[in-house]
Each structure stands twice: as C-alpha cells, then as structure tokens.
Amino acid sequence: DALMSAVMMIVQALLIAISFSPVVSAARTWSSGKAGISLNSTEFTIYEVSNDKGGWSTHFWLTGGNSSNIDNAIVSFYIDGELTHQFQPNMAAGTGWVDLQTPCQTGNCPEKNSNWGNAYIGKGSGMGGWYNDFKFPFRSSFLATIRSHFSTLPTGHANCSVIKDHDCWGDDLVQYPNTPSVEACCAKCQGQPGCAAYTYHPDGLCFLKAGCVDLSPSPGNFTGTLDTWKVFQGTDYPNPNTTVGTTTTPNVQSCAMFCEGNTRCQGFVFDNNTHSCVLQGSLVGGTVPSSPHMITGCRDCSPLEGDLSVFVLVRGIYDINSLVVNVGGVVVPPAARMVTQYNHGYLKPLDYFSLANVNSSNGLIIMSTLSVISGNANFMEGCFHFYTNGSEAFPGEIMATGTEDYYNSGYYFINAYPQHLPSTGFTFDVPFTTPVGPFKTGLMWSVYRLHIADPLAFETFGKLQWRNGDALLPGQGKCLAPGNTGTIVGSPTASYVRSFAMAYVW
C-alpha cells in the first residue's frame, strides 16, 4: 500500500506538472541581414514575414559608419498590419544621448567608446552595435523598416512660405505684371524652368529669379524660394563662434530663406517655441541632441550626415506557440502583445513625468529608459510611483525614494559611472558648459531599468511615474507631498526629459 501510494503521488505530480506546462510547437527561425544600405527619409524594408500561425521577433541589431545616424535612426515594427512600434536604437538599448558628435567637454567621456551588454540590451562596439533581444509577438505578419532621422523641407514648393517685407535683388529670369497674389507668383515660379525664388510686390508685379543671394528689407514686398533643405528635428548646433546672423522668423521655412539670402550661411537652427533663427557659417562637428522643438537645417548636410550606410539584422521564430516567454515567473500568454511608448517633455521643478502609461486588462512593464538634460543634479531627488489600476490614489506604490535608488545605486550615483548591471545601467553622465538647446550649463544623463526578475504587474491600468526633484513633508519625509506642498529638496531646475518603455499586455 505504501508503495502504491508513493506511485500515485508521483503520477499525480506528473499530471499536475504536465497540465501547467505550456504546449510548445516545433520552432523554426526566420532571419534577415542588410549590409551597407544607405539611410534616407524613406522607410527601407529590413524584413517582412507572414504566417497564419504568427510568431515572435526575437533579435534586432544595428551598426554603421556614423554614430549620429545610427543612434537617431527610426526603426519601425508593423505588427499584424499596423504600425505598433517606433524606436531609436540607443533609446531601446537603455541609452539616451550617446552620439560620437556630442561635445565631450570634460575630457572623460567613457560612453564615447564603451561597449557593454546583458541578456536583453546592449552596445557591442564603440560605434554602434546596438541590440535588443526582447520578444515581440505577432499573430499574422511582421514588418521591420528603418529610415534616417532627417527629412527634406521644401521652403516654398509645398506651401509658398514667404518672408514678408523683404526683397531679393538680382538674378531675375522674367517678370509678370497683374499677378493677383503671392501664391499665384509662387505657382508661376513652380512652372518656370530654372526658377528657384520669387518676389511679389503689392502692385501685382511678380519677379521670378534663378536664386536669392541678396535678401534685404523691403516694406510691403514678399519673397519666397523653391529650394529644398534637409532638417534634423530635435537637434541643435550650439556654436557661437560660427554664427553669422540671428533674427526672429514665424516658421522654419522663413528661417531657411534667411539663410539662403546670406552668402555666408551654411545652415540654421530654428527654435519652434521662441521663433529664434540662428544662421551658422559652418556645421562642422555635428549637431547635439536637444528638445523636439529645436530644428537644425542645412543645404549641404554632408558635415552632419557623414557615412549614411548602416548594417542591420532582425530575426525571430515562426509560430506564436513555439516560444514560451517567462518574465519573473509570470508566463506571458500567446494572446499577449508588446506595447512600446516614447514620451518626452519640458518639466518645471516638481513636475511629474510618466515613463509608461498603459491601459489594458493585465500587463507587465518590463523595461524603461530615462534620459534627462537639466541645469544641475537635484532632479535625482525625484521619487518613483507605480499605479496598478485606474482608481489608485496618490502616492500609489512608492517604487523609490530617490532617482538613483530606483536604479540600485545611491547618493547621486557616486563613483558609479558608467554602470552596467544585469537589471540596471547608468549610461550617460556628461556635464556641459556650452549651451545645449535652452540649457546654458548643466548635465546630460541617462539610465535604464529592466523588470525581468521583478516584473511590474498591473490590472486594468499601469502607470510608472517619476518626479523632477521632490519635496519633504514634516515628519513624513519625501514622496508624499503632492503638487506644490512641502519643502523642496535642493534646487532642482527645469529639465528636458525623454523616455522609452516596453510592456506586455493581454
């Protein structure tokens, strides 16, 4: 009886184990590699797969000849026919500001040539080698594309943008009297071979021109151009030594036209918030990452573009049931989908910022990158909060009582840079003393956190929130003072913040 009882217990244990084990189909790999492709503003297809049993994307890797281009390239994943994921390779690998063209002002910039990695993300070379091995499920089709982060800007061709109260002297091709409007003058230029610019006078005279090299104030007149520029959004060229002029224009097209009218101008920087237009006589050395409203433009972009060739790999597994994804002991069901979020914004001291904000029945936040430009390091006093359903009130679940605590470090990451641990990383820490966007001096900084060993689980709603600095309540400490209550810790400044997060939802 004792032997029979033992046998029955073993059989029951095996049946229970089998009943809770996922059914795994036979696996088969799909893969694609592209070598030396040249990036431009048009999406290039890396790989496309269609399968009635679905599958998983399991690996992405990218390198190339110019760090600015590969770091800032836009990668898109179309899952089951919809554009569901867009990311920059460095942000998806936990690093916010890596760029070999970023000025190293301290003489100690290990991120310039470092290589590092863990089982999920990393950088395998001093120039590129970004990889991301998180698993993206799909049910019928998967398409991966890549394009450059710059685009073309028609300064007059598409919308007849003009500069008011200015004239362009010389280079006349032909003139038309009795032209009813500046838009009609632009249309005539579009139809005239060799026309690159035009000037419109209120009396109806329309002058078509071969170019515009002498742009001068002229009350009442309008000048436009059909030249095409390339623009790099979210970048700045903060070099006062090469500035050849500064003005204010209503839009980026007008700023480009001012550059065209200045023979010394090779490019411009336009601030879409203040409408400041800075003309640059050189763009050698490259741009620096900045806020999204900063735009760098150039006619000859070779100093910025450098080597446009990239090398890229993507691969995965056929059949969505052929792979079991386990996150901290939680088996991700085949019905799950991946959600990626990119957030950014300017924060005042004590403003809150959401790294992830996911509405779903159930889910797990598995990874996030946080990148900050700030006037000093006191932003690191900020606490982390996690809200696991839509009705949870402040402060939610307190995840960390300081920014560095959340990343398994301490005391503002003292003596910790660069740090690359299995679950956390401190990937960028560069002080600057010449302007980066609107910041005259300060710190460029980025970190990552993987929630694989300790997944952030939620039901109906998941929000991971950080604060730009923090405040104390008497007798209660930090993280509990909402709004403008409490005593501010240190002197945090305004910050520009951007983040990237990944979550499974079902």
User: Which string of DSSP letters, residue by residue, matches 197-223?
Assistant: EEEE-TTS-EEEES--S-EEEEEEEEE
Contact (Cβ atoms closer than 8 angstroms) between residue 338 and residue 358: no
Q: What are phi and psi of 184, to 5 degrees?
A: -65, -35
Distinct helix (H) and strand (E) counts, the chain: 7, 38
What is the structure's pLDDT at 276? 93
Cβ neighbors of 236 (< 8 A, separation 6 or more) are 269, 287, 288, 290, 294, 296, 435, 436, 437
Report d(CA 409, CA 406) in Å as an integer. 7
Note the pLDDT tens digit of each residue in 305-351.
555 688 999 999 999 998 899 999 999 998 999 999 988 878 999 99
What is the structure's pLDDT at 100? 39
Residue 476 CA: distances (Å) to CA of 401, 466, 479, 480: 12, 19, 9, 7
Nearest of 198, 163, 162, 203 to residue 179 by alpha carbon? 203
Task: Examine the pLDDT at 57 and tell me if it is beyond 70.
Answer: yes
pTM of the model as a whole: 0.72
Contact (Cβ atoms closer than 8 angstroms) between residue 129 and residue 67: no
What is the structure's pLDDT at 189? 87
pLDDT band at 430 (very low <50, low <70, confident <90, very high): confident
User: Exposure string (b/e) for 11-50, b if CB count within 10 Å is 16 or more?
Assistant: eeeeeeeeeeeeeeeeeeebeeebeeeebeeebbebbebe
Cβ neighbors of 451 (< 8 A, separation 6 or more) are 327, 328, 364, 365, 366, 367, 368, 423
Task: Examine the pLDDT at 470 and tell me if it is beyond 60.
Answer: yes
Residue 151 CA: distances (Å) to CA of 76, 218, 270, 297, 298: 16, 32, 15, 10, 11
The residue with tokens 């290990």 is 110
Report d(CA 266, CA 244) in Å as an integer. 9
Report d(CA 10, CA 432) in Å as an integer. 66
Task: Examine the pLDDT at 214 and tell me if it is beyond 80.
Answer: no
The residue with tokens 């240190």 is 490
How many C-beta atoms lie closer than 10 Å to residue 454's C-beta? 12
Residue 260 CA: distances (Å) to CA of 3, 45, 160, 238, 257: 93, 35, 15, 20, 5
pLDDT band at 446 (very low <50, low <70, confident <90, very high): very high
The residue with tokens 């951007």 is 498
Residue 437 is encoded by which pair of tokens? 């966007």
How many C-beta atoms lie closer than 10 Å to residue 303's C-beta? 17
The residue type found at 147 is R
- Percent of the chain predicted with pLDDT > 90: 46
Report d(CA 157, CA 192) in Å as an integer. 12
What is the structure's pLDDT at 307? 58
Coil/strand/helix, residue 305: helix
Report d(CA 322, CA 462) in Å as an integer. 28
Task: Examine the pLDDT at 287 and tell me if it is beyond 70.
Answer: no
pLDDT band at 210 (very low <50, low <70, confident <90, very high): confident
Q: What are phi and psi of 304, to 5 degrees?
A: -90, -40
Note the pLDDT tens digit of each residue in 77-88.
999 999 889 888
How many C-beta atoms lie closer than 10 Å to residue 58's C-beta? 19
Nearest of 490, 492, 466 to residue 479 by alpha carbon? 466
Q: What are phi and psi of 235, to 5 degrees?
A: -135, 160
* H/E run at residue 266: none
- Percent of the chain predicted with pLDDT > 70: 82
pLDDT band at 492 (very low <50, low <70, confident <90, very high): very high
* Average pLDDT for the chain: 83
